[in-house]
């Protein structure tokens, strides 16, 4: 467990600046005001204000590329999931936790761990889509990304479901729900932007 937490922490630190290369293939054209592009694309998400807040700092990299936008959104989602995974794992070491809360917290660690794996796979898959490919290959790869990001969102929601009863009330519930809810919102936005990117090839 300790090695797992250290690994996640190192990976989280490596994502602080989220270096993403601009893909000329998916860049529509030079945009003098990429912030407007981000606002327009974020309008398709469930949490547009959060979407704009998260992505505006990367406007010079995003420009007007749906691919760059989706890739950065997924990277942000992964960084949040890694943070949540580390935080919830540390909660398991707290003494005096009620058995029902301990079980819900342990299940949440597993769920968020699965989400981390799904998001990591989706980023790698999308990265490979920079190369030219035919329609059939594009649809295959983008479908994989959509499936994995959707599964990550389901895992995060499942974690929240574990704390739905009043028997789990307390610090752990409040702390976990606030962080996982934020992470789920970021992931939901990322999925919407992946879907927008998929639509550019239609």
Q: pLDDT digit string (tens) for 100-159?
A: 999 999 999 999 999 999 999 999 999 988 877 788 899 999 999 999 999 999 999 999
Cβ neighbour number for residue 87 with a 10 Å cutoff: 16
Give the model confidence (pLDDT) of 147-199 as tens digits: 999 999 999 999 999 999 999 999 999 999 999 999 999 999 999 999 999 99
Q: Dihedral of CA 162/165/169/175: which sign?
A: positive
Residue in 68, 91, 92, 149 with CA at minimum distance from that of residue 116: 149
Give how many domains the chain has, as a whole number.
Answer: 1
Q: What percent of the chain has pLDDT over 90?
A: 75
| Residue whose structure tokens are 């597993």 | 110
Cα separation, 108 vs 106, whole angstroms: 5
For residue 107, tell me if it sits in a domain.
yes
CATH of the domain at 82: 1.20.140.40
Cα separation, 120 vs 194, whole angstroms: 14
For residue 135, tell me if it sits in a domain.
yes
For residue 145, tell me if it sits in a domain.
yes
For residue 42, tell me if it sits in a domain.
no
Residue in 102, 151, 123, 99 with CA at minimum distance from that of residue 19: 123
For residue 33, tell me if it sits in a domain.
no
Q: What percent of the chain has pLDDT over 70?
A: 84
For residue 54, tell me if it sits in a domain.
no
Q: What is the pTM of this model?
A: 0.83
For residue 41, tell me if it sits in a domain.
no
> HEC profile for 56-67?
HHHHHHHCCCHH
Residue 7: give the domain boundaries.
2-19+64-199
Cα separation, 161 vs 113, whole angstroms: 16
For residue 24, tell me if it sits in a domain.
no
């Amino acid at each position: 467990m300790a090695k797992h937490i250290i690994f996640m922490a190192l990976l989280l630190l490596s994502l602080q600046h989220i270096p993403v290369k601009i893909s000329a293939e998916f860049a529509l054209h030079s945009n003098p005001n990429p912030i407007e592009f981000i606002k327009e694309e974020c309008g398709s998400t469930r949490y547009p204000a959060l979407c704009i807040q998260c992505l505006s700092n990367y406007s010079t990299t995003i420009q007007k590329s749906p691919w760059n936008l989706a890739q950065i959104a997924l990277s942000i989602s992964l960084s949040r999931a890694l943070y949540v995974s580390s935080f919830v794992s540390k909660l398991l070491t707290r003494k005096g936790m009620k058995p029902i809360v301990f079980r819900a917290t342990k299940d949440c660690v597993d769920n968020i761990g699965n989400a981390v794996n799904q998001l990591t796979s989706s980023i790698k898959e999308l990265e490979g889509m920079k190369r030219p490919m035919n329609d059939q290959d594009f649809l295959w790869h983008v479908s994989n990304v959509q499936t994995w990001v959707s599964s990550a969102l389901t895992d995060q929601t499942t974690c929240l479901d574990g704390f739905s009863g009043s028997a789990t009330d307390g610090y752990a519930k409040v702390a976990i729900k606030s962080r996982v809810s934020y992470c789920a919102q970021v992931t939901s936005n990322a999925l919407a932007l992946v879907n927008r990117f998929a639509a550019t090839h239609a």
